[in-house]
Amino acid sequence: MTRSIFLAVAAVVSTLLLAGCSGTGSSGDPAAEPAGGAGYPMKIGNCGAEVTVPAPPQRAVALNQGSAEILLSLGLADRMVGTATWTDPVRANLAADNARVPRLADNKPSLEVVLDTEPDFVSASFGGTLGPGGVAEREQFTELGVPTYLSPTDCDGKTDISVNADGARTEPLTMDSVYREIRELAAIFDVRDRGEQLVTGLRDRYDAAAGRIAADPVSLAYWFADTSTPYVAGCCGSSGIITDAVGAKNVFDDTTDEWPQVSWETVLDRDPAALVLADLSRRSLAGDALDSKISFLESNPVTAKLSAVRDRRYIVVNGADLNPSIRTVDGIEKVADALERWGHGS
């Protein structure tokens, strides 16, 4: 199908969707929908938008790594026609399935590249990807008859949808938002049982990691990137879930910004006992890679005074582990492993 024909068909589909919206439709909670075709067209409220999905998607595009890894974890590789905006290697258990899905771009693809895949569904983790300044605004896809889904982790507890996971939260993020994303996507694709299995597995891993650590608060700081004015984690994003799970304390938990930029003098003043360092695959800022982070910390006259640096108490995670997603549990496990090695096990 050529792109011109696809756009013409999409316009017709859009008209049909609007007609479907005016009918009785289904409830806004996909978890309450009956299994199978009787649950479609499905309506779902998502980040301030009402989305209508006419049938289980067969040609999905995931515009962020977090969204792609959920779809892959649900066993949907055969219904994916593209992924984009990757920050890290895919989880090892998903590598084989991921290799079957075309990668449209390592970063944000153009709208035309996405449309060339003839998608019938587009999902994303961040409003900075699916929204103003991103691949396209949601309304553009809606006009073409392509339903979109934005992760509730980028909406829950926020007054404004973020750009690249920045911004502030009015309330702390919890794993419930991740579980809701899994369940809603599983309902949309009509694989609810797989969604429940994935949620159960994540909960079991969360409990196992958290249960290994004694309630002995260890002070932490999370450094994502930038050596000059570092991006550190505030109280209430994915890092907050990790911190709470292991009973630690984030020395920057007094800010609701997800990734505030601070001075190294401020970090030294709060002097965390350990540093959680993001080892980023990208190379866009100084201090993205782990070795460059450690080299800077141990050579800079300010950071070299940090207790965590003197004791070399570094906890290494992937960048994706610090984004709200199924990888948040990976982050919990890695932090718990380090704390257990340092004598904080239960």
Mean pLDDT, range 57-82, rounded to an integer: 98
Q: What is the pLDDT of residue 11?
A: 43
Q: To the nearest 10°, the Cα dihedral for 246, 251, 254, 260?
A: -100
Q: Give dist(CA 320, CA 331) in Å, integer.
A: 9
Which H helix or E strand runs over 136? none
Comparing 26 with 336, the larger pLDDT belongs to 336
Comparing 346 with 72, the larger pLDDT belongs to 72
* DSSP notation for 49-111: EEEEE-S--SSEEE-SHHHHHHHHHTT-GGGEEEEE--SSPPPGGGHHHHTTS-EEESSPPPH
pLDDT-based confidence at residue 200 (cuts at 50, 70, 90)? very high
Collapsed DSSP state (helix, strand, coil) of residue 44: strand
Q: What is the pLDDT of residue 215?
A: 62
What's the chain's length in residues? 346
Comparing 247 with 6, the larger pLDDT belongs to 247
Contacts of 79-85 spanning 24+ positions with Cβ under 8 A? 79/189, 81/117, 81/118, 81/119, 82/109, 82/114, 82/117, 82/119, 84/108, 84/109, 84/114, 84/129, 84/135, 85/129
Tens of pLDDT along 304-318? 999 999 999 999 999
Q: What is the pLDDT of residue 38?
A: 52
3-204 matches 215-344 in fold: yes
Comparing 334 with 39, the larger pLDDT belongs to 334
Is 288's pLDDT higher than 90? Answer: no
Mean pLDDT, range 317-345, rounded to an integer: 95
Which tokens belong to 139?
A: 């309304």
Q: What is the pLDDT of residue 18?
A: 36
**C-beta of residue 139 within 8 angstroms of C-beta of residue 150:** no
Partners of 105 in the β-ladder: 84
The mean pLDDT of the chain is 88
Residues 6+ apart with CB under 8 A from 186: 74, 192, 193, 194, 195, 196, 198
Mean pLDDT, range 76-86, rounded to an integer: 97
Look-up of token digits 């800022």: 285
Q: Residue 288 to residues 108, 257, 278, 319: CA-CA distances in angstroms?
A: 19, 20, 8, 9
For 215-344, give the CATH class: alpha beta
Cβ–Cβ contacts within 10 Å for residue 217, how many?
Answer: 13
Is residue 204 packed enough to be buried (19+ CB in 10 Å), middle (13-18) or exposed (0-12)?
Answer: exposed
**C-beta of residue 270 within 8 angstroms of C-beta of residue 241:** no
Q: What is the pLDDT of residue 205?
A: 98
Which tokens belong to 112?
A: 């035309």
The residue among 51, 149, 62 whose CA lies nearest residue 104 is: 62
pLDDT-based confidence at residue 286 (cuts at 50, 70, 90)? confident
For 3-204, give the CATH class: alpha beta
Tell me the domain boundaries of the chain. Answer: 3-204, 215-344
Q: Give dist(CA 112, CA 119) in Å, integer.
A: 11
State yes or no: cis peptide before 41, omega within 30 of 0: yes
Is 328's pLDDT higher than 90? Answer: yes
Collapsed DSSP state (helix, strand, coil) of residue 21: helix
pLDDT-based confidence at residue 157 (cuts at 50, 70, 90)? confident
Mean pLDDT, range 149-157, rounded to an integer: 93
CA 144 to chain centre: 26
pLDDT-based confidence at residue 145 (cuts at 50, 70, 90)? very high
End-to-end CA distance of the chain: 60
Comparing 169 with 295, the larger pLDDT belongs to 295
**C-beta of residue 81 within 8 angstroms of C-beta of residue 119:** yes
In 185-239, the DSSP E strands lie at 219-225, 231-232
Q: Give dist(CA 304, CA 294) in Å, integer.
A: 10
Q: Residue 32 to residues 26, 44, 114, 181, 188: CA-CA distances in angstroms?
A: 9, 11, 31, 15, 12
- Report the percent of the chain where pLDDT is more than 90: 78
Lowest mean pLDDT among 10-24, 185-199, 248-262, 282-296: 10-24
